Amino acid sequence: MSNALARLLDIAPAPSRLRDKDWGEVERALAVELPDDYKELIGVYGGSNWDDYLYVLEPDCPNKHYDLLAWAKYQFEDLQGLWTVEKKPTELETEGSVLIPWATTDNGECLYWLVLPGVEPNDWTVMVNEVSDRWEHHPVSCTQFLASVLTGELQSNILSSLFPLATHEFRRLGGE
């Protein structure tokens, strides 16, 4: 278990049942391996809502609106169109770099993994987008990002100033 996941367990106790995933099938569908910390996060919390604001996407999420595979498909298409009218963030200038969404918010911000050629999934970092040309890069894993933003150790100028809440709220998305 990663240190960041242990910190999340201190913030919000794990739901009673773990969710099993066929990660091989998910990764074949995405054509990439996913970070181990994300797989652990989903195994413990599943697709989830944090502080009534941030939604962690899950492959085959019981709430179809937060399915990682659907989001990855649509975000890839949307971003390809976006790059025809907007300049890519500096972090994406490397040929072959892509973004894969792993979370979203009530306000429409999207959190992505920055996937660079030759960088292993466990070393992917986080990009946050405001549904505009505003981007932030955070050199941490997705679980480190979530734990650090919830504890206030990491600040985002894009995410809502009302997030995180003083008393954390957690809920699993669809089905226990």
Q: How confident is the model at residue 118 (pLDDT cuts 50, 70, 90)?
A: very high
Q: What pLDDT, on a 0 to 100 scale, did the predictor assign at position 176? A: 52
pLDDT at 1 over 70: no
Q: What is the CA radius of gyration of the chain?
A: 15
| Number of folded domains that form the chain | 1
Looking at per-residue pLDDT, the higher value among 22 and 79 belongs to 22
- Which CATH number does the domain housing residue 106 bear? 3.40.1580
Lowest mean pLDDT across 51-55, 83-87, 135-139? 83-87
Retrieve residue 63's tokens.
């709430």
Residue pLDDT, tens place only, 56-96: 999 999 999 999 999 998 887 777 777 778 888 999 889 98
* Domain extent at residue 18: 3-172
Nearest to 34 by CA among 97, 103, 121, 107: 121
Separation of alpha carbons 21 and 163, rounded Å: 29
Average pLDDT value for residue range 120-149: 95
pLDDT of residue 175: 59
Which tops the pLDDT comparison, 74 or 140? 140
- Pairing mode of beta strands 48-50, 125-129: unpaired
Q: Is the pLDDT of residue 48 over 60?
A: yes
What average pLDDT score do residues 17-27 get? 87
C-alpha distances in Å from residue 59, one per residue of 25, 64, 67, 76, 142: 10, 9, 5, 16, 15
Closest C-alpha among 176, 114, 160 to residue 140: 114
Among 155, 153, 159, 123, residue whose Cα is nearest residue 140: 123
pTM reported for the whole predicted model: 0.94
10 Rama class: left (phi>0) / alpha (psi -120 to 50) / beta = alpha
Answer for the pair 176, 159: CB distance below 8 angstroms, yes or no. Answer: no
User: Are the C-beta atoms of 88 and 137 separated by less than 8 Å?
Assistant: no
HEC states along 125-147?
EEEEECCCCCEEEECCCHHHHHH
Residue-level pLDDT at 164: 96
